[in-house]
Structure formats: C-alpha cells, structure tokens
Amino acid sequence: MLIYSINRLLQLIPIVFILTIVVFCFVQALPGDIIDTLSDMESGADPATRALLEKEYGLDQPIYVQYAYWLGDILQGDFGKSLVTRRPVATELLERIPATVYLAGVGILLSLVIAIPLGTIAAVWRNSKTDYAAQVVSLLGISIPEFWFAILCILLFSLHLGLFPSSGYVGPGEDFGLSIWYLVLPAVAIGFRQAAYTTRLTRSSMLDEINKDYVNTARSLGLSERKVIYKYTLRNALIPTVTISGLQFANLLGGTVVLETIFAWPGIGLTIYQAIQLRDYPVIQAGILFLGFKVVLINLLVDLLYRVLNPRVSLG
Amino acid sequence: MPDSDLAARQRVDVVDRNETAFRIRMRRVKAGLANAWYELRKSRTATIGASMICVLMFLVIFAQSIATHNPVKSNYRERLAPISTEHYMGTDKFGRDIFSRVVIGGQRTVLISIAAVIFGMSIGIPIGILSGFFGGRFDSIVMRITDGFLAFPGLLLYLLIVTVAREYKLQGFWNDAILVFALGFAFWPEVARLSRSTALVEAKKEYVEAARSIGEWRLSIAMGQILPNCISPLIVNATVRLGFMILIIAALSFLGLGTSPPTPDWGSDLRAAQDHLESHPMIAVFPGLAICFSVLAFNLFGDGLRDILDPRLAER
C-alpha cells in the first residue's frame, strides 16, 4: 500500500508538469496585446512606455525563457502580479478561498441533511409513493441547470417575497446573522443539486445493504426493524455517501463559477471569471492551475481511498 | 450464346441469394425492434424518456418550420410583449419572438451536443476496444495516456478552449466546431476506459476464440465481433452524457463564453433575461424550461435503458 501510494504520487509529477505547459501555452495563444490593455488604463501606448512595460513583465524574452521563469516563480509560490489590481496573484486568490469553502461546505451539509433521510426512506419503503416521489425529485434535481434554479430562487424569494438578498457576501466573522442571511440562496442552489445526486446514491447503496445476509441474521435474532435499519444497515450504507460527498465538496471549490457569478459571491470561481473577462493573464493562469492541481489531487485521493475501502482492488 | 446465358443466370442467382440474405436480415431487424419495443414498454422511465426525446427530435428537425418569427430580427414596437397568440412565449427586450428563439436555439444546442458525443466516442471507442483486446504492453501504454487525459479537468478544458476561441472572434460554424471539439475531447478518455473494461471481459469469451480459429483478422474480430457486444453500456453512457453536454453548453453561454449575442441560445438568453427579472420574469422561465426538458429526457431515457440492458442493476 505504501509503495503503491508513493508510486501514485510520483505519477503526479509528469501530469502536473504537462498541466503547467498546457496552461502556459493556452494563455500564450490568446490574441490581443497585454501592453495595449495596460496602456489604456495608464499612459498612452508610446514606444518608450511600451518597452518599459515589456521589460517589467518580461515580455521581451523568448517564450521558453518566459515559461522557465514563470515555472521557477510558481515553484516558489510567486504567481506574479495581477495586471488589473497590480497586487500579487497568490494573495488575491488566497483571499478568495474562505468565501468558496464557506459556500461549498454549507451547500454540502445542506445536501446531506436533505439527502440521507430521503434516500433511506426511499430505500426502506421501496416502490412506495414516497420512493417514487423521491426518485422524481432527485431526477429533476440533476436535470435542472443550477443557474436557472438560482434565478428562479432569486425571482421567488428575493424579488417576489423579499425574504433574502439577491446577491452579495458578508463574511461569517464580521456579522454572523447577516452572513447566514446572504448565504441562504446560494447554499440552497448548490444544496439542491447535490442533494439530488446524494439521494440517488444513498438509496442505491441502502438497497444493496438491505439485501445482504447480515441483515437477515439481525432480523432473525429478533431485533426490531428500526434497530436493524438505523443501527446496522444505515451505518454501512453511509460509507459511500459520505465518501462521495467529501469528494463533491472538493470538486465544488472553484467549480461553482456560474453560481458565484450570479450571486456576486467573491470566491475563486468569480475571480477566474472576472480575470477571463478582463484578460488578466496571471490570474487566469494561477486560477486554472489551482483548479487543475486540485482535480489531480482529488483523483489521487479517490484512488487511494478505493484501495483502503476495498482491498480486493488490485494494486497494479 | 451459352457464355452470356451462364453469366445472366449467375447474376440472377446472385441477386436472388442477396435478396434472401436481405430478407433474413430484415426479419432479424424486425424481431430485434419488436423485442426492443417490448422491453421499452416494460420500463416506464424509458418510455417517458423516449417519448420526450421524440418530441425534442421533432422540434430539432423541423425547427425552421416550427419557428413563427425570425429569431434574430428585432422589432422595437413589440418590446417585452406578453404571451399572446402572436408570440406564444412573449418577446424579449429587442422585441424578438422568444418561442422562435427557444426552438432555433435548441436545434443548435442539441446538434452540438450530439456532434460532441459522436466525436468523443469515435476517438474513445476504437482506442478502448483495441486496448482491451490486444492487452499487454500496448494496453498499458495507451491506458497511461488515457489516464493522463482523464486527470485533466474537464471544466478547465472548456474554459480554456472556449476562451481562446472567443478571443479569436470565431463566428457561426467555427465557433460551434470549437465547442464540439472541446466537449468531445474532454469526453473521449471516459469512453476509452469504459469500452476497454467491457472489451477485456468480452475478449475472453468463446465466440472470440471461434472467430480466431476460423482465421479471422484480429482487427476485424475487435471491431466486428467485440465492439457490437460492448455497445450497450456505451449507449447508456452516451445518452446520459448528451444531457450533461446540454447543461455544459448552456452554462458556458450563460457565462458569455458561448455564441455572440444575436444568435439564439438558451444559456445566453437566460443571461440576458436577468436584466428584466423584476418586471418580466417570464422571459427567464422559457429557456430554462427548455434546458430542463431536454436534459430530463436524456436522463430518463438513460436510466430506463440501463435498467433494460442490465437487469441486475434494475433490481436495486
């Protein structure tokens, strides 16, 4: 297992290396002149300013030199300065992480609170009306685009009923009550979709467990159905649910670009989106590297986790 | 002239034999279709999904005749008109007929997602089948490469490719082609993995041995014998993926990374509708309903199809 883990970690190196090259190449492939974009906001684009700016950002060097410098800087944790705010990109992104973690965390918690009871009930009362209702709702949940659901939520709860603000963010450290008030709609929009996935998952793993022998044994020992279901079956059935939810949480970090845009939620997703709009190259690069690296890490985690949970999977 | 007589008779013979072969094939196809129909009617989800897909396909094929107005022509005298017999879904802020925009935009979205799925499968299936069939070193090299691509996050790929495409101001067909490329390219590693795992199982079966013993060419065993037997999980995967593709296309154009404004598109129309959310909420409802309908259609059909093709799973 240890050797396998080390092997798997070593395999990450080429993938991450290729990731950096691809990201660098893609941003280079973008047309449009950064100097012109910059000069619009500062002085005019006369040759002297141009040369000065090119020198400052290292744009007068050949591309592979630019790449080597860039990679070297990144390895030291220096992602350059944002072309728009002129602040270090690393600080810029790090500042945005708490908002994203906050939103994703509450969204996932909300989805678990909805999905675990719903999935369990659907499995225990299989083919009942409750089961069909749960299945229909969860199928709808994965079919509704989350941005449309978010818009409908804004329409109903914010514009029509005036219960919650339609967009904005207040940190939980500043004013907890107000922060929750702003969080409700985005968290519901995330939670609904996640709950739909998790309900399906809980239902099917619960059905798997209920048909196993130990459940019959427990029943034949005269344990009450309640005890059989809640004490033994549910506990085993929840392993995949909780595992997948953890991974979903990791996926949501930066994966909620659309929702963050709608709710003006100052997280990683919104930062990358704004950077794309403003052609803020260093921020795009860093943000996309962040996303890519995160996904690579998640994949590693999934692989290792499956080996731990199911030792029969070959270590090939 | 006996020679030509013989030739003529042979020709008749050939035609005749071909015809019987054709008849046998037709009978087989008919029996297959009847069987499929029977199975389809057993699963309610599949039936509902199939009928929804039929409606969707009807709208896609006859979109130009069904649309009542020119979807891009603005009409300032009828700005933000309510629902009427003239405009089934009202008009938007430029006085364009929303019904026509939803229908024409849907045609584009559905065709792009179908093309993307076909593109992804036409790369993934041959790679996966051959890799699973030949095995050995070929398999391990190919699978390492596939894993590398699989580790590359999809969202990132869409954002990168579509951003670059937008910067080059690609219009019309080329813009759509880039979208098909991005979506399909992110899809193929998954297809390759899936078809490989099925091909691995199939390659050990007797009919492959039989084909080999009569000296059939290895490539033709892989593509002619193994592929048809691997097709059912691939079809389920493709169906569900079609719905997913529609969601991604809508999300990308909602972020303003899809088509440029006058082209009708569900995602960008939803984005534009946000400006008038308070006064004219209905504008935001219809494109969303259209997305929901088509994604639900593919999800339902995919779910039902999985139950039909893999009865073991249906028992869950």
Q: List pLDDT tens digits, range B38-94.
A: 777 777 888 888 889 999 999 888 878 877 777 777 777 767 667 777 777 777 777
Using CB atoms, pick whichever of B151, B160, B250 lies closest to residue A15.
Answer: B151
Residue B316 has pLDDT above 50, yes or no: no
B249 touches chain A (CB under 8 A): no
Average pLDDT, chain A: 80
Q: Pick from B18, B23, B94: which is nearest to B268 by CA? A: B94
Contacts of A264 in chain B (CB under 8 A): none
Mean pLDDT of A41-54: 64
Q: How far is A31 from chain B (nearest CA, A)?
A: 6
Residue A176 has pLDDT above 90, yes or no: no
Q: Pick from B256, B257, B238, B252: which is nearest to B299 by CA? A: B238
Contacts of A292 in chain B (CB under 8 A): 152-153, 156
Mean pLDDT of B90-108: 81
Size of interface A-B (CB pairs under 8 A): 106
Residue B288 and residue A148: Cβ atoms within 8 Å? Answer: yes
pLDDT in tens, B235-247: 888 988 899 899 8
B255 touches chain A (CB under 8 A): yes
Are A306 and A313 spatial neighbours (Cβ–Cβ below 8 Å)? yes
ipTM of the complex: 0.77
What pLDDT does residue A211 have? Answer: 81
B141 touches chain A (CB under 8 A): no
Contacts of B243 in chain A (CB under 8 A): 143
Q: How confident is the model at residue A316 (pLDDT cuts 50, 70, 90)?
A: very low
Query: What is the token pair recorded at A232?
Result: 């033994």
Contacts of A19 in chain B (CB under 8 A): 152
Helix, strand, coil fractions of chain B, as percent rounded to 5:
80, 0, 20
B66 touches chain A (CB under 8 A): no
Residue B97 sits at φ, ψ, to 5 deg, of: -70, 120
The CA distance from B307 to B301, in Å, is 10
pTM of the predicted protein model: 0.81
Q: How far is B296 from chain A (nearest CA, A)?
A: 5
Residue A299 and residue B148: Cβ atoms within 8 Å? Answer: no
Which 3-state string (H, E, C) describes A206-273?
Answer: HHHHHCCHHHHHHHHCCCCHHHHHHHHHHHHHHHHHHHHHHHHHHHHCCCCHHHHHHCCCCCHHHHHH
B46 touches chain A (CB under 8 A): no
What pLDDT does residue B118 have? Answer: 94
Say which range, A62-76, A248-262, B1-15, has the weakest mean pLDDT.
B1-15
Residue B115 has pLDDT above 90, yes or no: yes
pLDDT in tens, B280-309: 777 788 888 899 999 999 988 888 888 787
